Structure 1
Amino acid sequence: MTDFDPILLTLPSLAPSLAVEILPYGLTFHRVFVQADGRTHDIVIGPEDPRGHITQKYTNTIIGRYANRIPIGSHTIERNGVEAEVVAELNEGSRVSLHGGPVGFDSLCWTRLTPDTPPALFTEAELAHLPPLSVATSYGIFRLVSPDGDQGYPGTMSTEVLIALIPPAEQERKYVEPGQVAPSAEWDLGSILYVYRAKVDKGVTPVNLTQHWGFNLEASLKDGEDTLSVKNQNITIKSDRIVARDADSLNIGNFIPVTSATEHLHEGQKIGDKYPKLGYDDYYAFAPRTVKIPKRFPILEFTPKLDLLKDVLIPSGTEDATRGDRPEPVVELSSDKSGLKLVFETNQDGVMFYSNAWADPSKGARKKIHGGSGIKDHGDGYVPGTAAFLEFHDILAAFLDPANKDGNDTLLTSDEVYHNYVRCDVRFKQPAN
Structure 2
Amino acid sequence: MAASESEFVPILLALPSLTPSLALEVLPHGLTLHRLFVQADGRTHDLLIGPEDPKDHLTQKYTNTIVGRYANRLPVTESTLSRSGITATFTPLANENPEVSLHGGPSGFDSKEWTPLLDPSESQLFSQAEVQTIMGTMPAGSAIVFRRISEDGEEGFPGKLLVEALVGLVQPSGPQVQQEVLNLGSVVLVYRAKLLDKAKVTPINLTQHWGFNLDASLRDEDERTSPESLSVKDHKLTIQADNTIELTSKGLSSGTLAPVKGTHHAHLEKETKKIGERWPESGYDEFYLFSSRDIIAPTRIPEKDLTPDKNFLQEILTTDQKDPVVELESDKSGLKITFDTNQSGVQFYSNNLTNPTKGARKKIHGGSGVSGAGDSYGVGSAAFLEFHEPLAAWQNPSTLGPSGDDTLLASGEIYNNYVRMDVWFKPPKHLKEE
Q: Normalising by the residue count of structure 1, what TM-score does the alignment of the two structures yield?
A: 0.91
| Aligned residue in 2 for 1:336 | 331
Q: Deviations over 1:367-412 (max 9, x none)?
A: 0000000000110010000000000000011011255899521000
Q: Deviations over 1:267-293 (max 9, x none)?
A: 331110100001100000001111131
TM-aligned CA distance change 1:192 to 1:227, over 3 Å: farther
TM-aligned CA distance change 1:95 to 1:360, over 3 Å: same
Q: Using the aligned pairs only, state the percent identity.
A: 52
Quick one: distance in 1 between partners of 2:343 and 2:355? 31
| Aligned residue in 1 for 2:260 | 258
Amino acid at match of 1:49: D
Q: Which runs of 5+ in 2 are unaligned?
A: none
CA RMSD of aligned residues (A): 2.1
| Aligned residue in 1 for 2:389 | 394
TM-aligned CA distance change 1:289 to 1:197, over 3 Å: same
Query: Could you tell me whether the CA contact under 8 Å between 1:230 and 1:271 is conserved in 2?
Result: yes
Task: Give the deviation of 1:243 after TM superposition.
Answer: 0.6
Quick one: distance in 2 between partners of 1:236 and 1:61? 23
TM-aligned CA distance change 1:116 to 1:79, over 3 Å: closer
Query: Could you tell me whether the CA contact under 8 Å between 2:299 and 2:405 is conserved in 1?
Result: no
Quick one: distance in 1 between partners of 2:109 and 2:343? 19
Deviates more, 1:190-199 or 1:123-132: 123-132
Q: 2:154 is matched with which residue: 150, 159, 172?
A: 150
Deviates more, 1:299-308 or 1:207-216: 299-308
Quick one: distance in 1 between partners of 2:332 and 2:91? 47
Deviates more, 1:9-18 or 1:41-50: 9-18
Quick one: distance in 2 between partners of 1:193 and 1:370? 24
Amino acid at match of 1:408: D
Quick one: distance in 2 between partners of 1:111 and 1:327? 34
Give the 5 Å matches for 1:410-425. 410-425=407-422
Query: Could you tell me whether the CA contact under 8 Å between 1:263 and 1:276 is conserved in 2?
Result: no
Task: Give the deviation of 1:227 after TM superposition.
Answer: 5.8
| Aligned residue in 1 for 2:342 | 347
Q: 1:248 is matched with which residue: 240, 245, 250?
A: 250
Deviates more, 1:294-303 or 1:146-155: 294-303
TM-aligned CA distance change 1:254 to 1:302, over 3 Å: same
Quick one: distance in 2 between partners of 1:363 and 1:373? 12
| Aligned residue in 2 for 1:54 | 58
Task: Give the deviation of 1:83 after TM superposition.
Answer: 0.4
- The answer to whether residue 14 in structure 2 is matched with residue 19 in structure 1 is no
Give the 5 Å matches for 1:377-392. 377-392=372-387
Give the 5 Å matches for 1:226-237. 228-237=230-239
Query: Could you tell me whether the CA contact under 8 Å between 1:292 and 1:327 is conserved in 2?
Result: no
Amino acid at match of 2:70: Y
Quick one: distance in 2 between partners of 1:125 and 1:237? 33
Q: Deviations over 1:243-269 (max 9, x none)?
A: 101111000110110015244434331
Quick one: distance in 1 between partners of 2:103 and 2:390? 13
Task: Give the deviation of 1:327 after TM superposition.
Answer: 6.9
| Aligned residue in 2 for 1:357 | 352
TM-aligned CA distance change 1:407 to 1:187, over 3 Å: closer
Amino acid at match of 1:156: K
Query: Could you tell me whether the CA contact under 8 Å between 1:15 and 1:168 is conserved in 2?
Result: no
TM-aligned CA distance change 1:137 to 1:391, over 3 Å: same
Q: 1:167 is matched with which residue: 159, 168, 171?
A: 171
Deviates more, 1:223-232 or 1:340-349: 223-232
Query: Could you tell me whether the CA contact under 8 Å between 2:356 and 2:378 is conserved in 1?
Result: yes
Q: 1:188 is matched with which residue: 183, 204, 215?
A: 183
Q: Alignment partner of 1:101: what SS?
A: coil
Quick one: distance in 2 between partners of 1:402 and 1:38? 50
Task: Give the deviation of 1:86 after TM superposition.
Answer: 1.5
